[in-house]
Structure 1
Amino acid sequence: MEIPEELLCLFSAEIESDNETYRIEIPTREVTDGDLRPGEVYRVGLLASGSTSPSQETSKEESERRDQGPPIAEGDRRTVDIEDIGKQGDGIARVERGYVIIVPETEIGDRVTIEVKNVQETLAFGEVIEHVEPTLHE
């Protein structure tokens, strides 16, 4: 998947029913700290998390896990696949619930073991510990 240069923010949200329409809430920080402005019109792209289909019911346990914050912690080591490249040229991997990890010095298709260095609510940053499969960086 190609991420356009115009991408202003990336976050996870649930679609909520509001009478006969549906709504996605934008986190306050995307307006106060980011590039979004109230009253402006934006193009929105939606990516499926891939974990469940719309017809599957979410268990109480899964709902509670979703509300607990990021699915990773600083210092965690994970093997991830680099799926995309961000605006700054860094690799992008996704883990549980579509949570994004930015991994510098990687390319699409790389499979790397990383150590998570900085965890935020909607994304984290990882450092490559090892290239699991042969890549251009070895």
Structure 2
Amino acid sequence: MYTLKRSVDGEFDAVVDETIEALGAEGFGVLCDIDIRATFAEKLDEEFRNYRILGACNPPLAHDALAEEIELGALLPCNVVVYERDDGGVTVSAVDPERLIGVTDNPALDDVAAEVRERFERVLDSLADDAVQSTEA
């Protein structure tokens, strides 16, 4: 699998906001926010489920990685996706940085990839934890 993902209870826009906030708590800024539903409606006149792609970047980690592998910028920022499932629930999915950076075959990037993965896991776990707490309240 090339992503890390969690099912999250909650309203779609609220989950997007919580995801951005959780990323911020782990040192990631969202450099771009692509609304696929709106784009498909505007460009293709097609309906699509709620689907947002958040381009997340942690500047210190990106700096370390780019200092080691200048072409790595082609793989940045790391995408985090929030989408509405067919059953009406919401899933948050992040690229697995170890798989992504693994395509470089540069072992000097392993520590950065592991650090990003740990941070993404904490982001996803916090969203899942928040959802469980909100459904029990």
Band the TM-score falls in, shorter-chain normalisation: under 0.3
Higher helix share: 2
Higher strand share: 1
Which structure is richer in relative contact order (CA contacts within 8 A, separation 6 or more)?
2
TM-score normalized by the length of structure 2: 0.22
